[in-house]
Amino acid sequence: MTESVRPKILIITTNHSSYPGANAVGQARLAYDSNTYILRVPDPVMFPEEFYLNAFEKGIGGIIIMSSGSDCPYEGAYPRLSARIQNVYNKMKAKNMDINRLKLTTICTVCTESFLKEVANMEQVVSK
């Protein structure tokens, strides 16, 4: 029996905030879909706009950027990230892509329920 191919979900997490939140999900032995991949980085602002568009072109169904929001330790990083993601949304619209496939959110070190909710929401988006 073969399992149907489900679109991949990429989660970009920060070292100091959202990755510990993702890790807390594992420590609590809570589950999320196996088509989900976590990329741990110092801060998501390091990715250029083209990264997201290329990821979609290469088969990623959805991307969740779990940042630290205003608690980011890198001065000015969150406003730059927010502006960059808005530019990506504009490019996605120009290409008739569903902007719901890209989500910028804030997840804290103990936000297991929020983490699982974001993954479940993206699973619904990419399953359409």
Mean pLDDT of the chain: 85
Query: What's the average model confidence in pLDDT over 87-93?
Result: 97
Domains in the chain, please, with CATH? 8-127 (3.40.50)
d(CA 50, CA 74) in angstroms, rounded, equals 22
41-85, pLDDT tens digit by residue?
988 888 999 999 999 999 999 999 988 766 666 677 788 999 999
Helices assigned H by DSSP within the chain: 18-27, 49-57, 77-94, 112-127
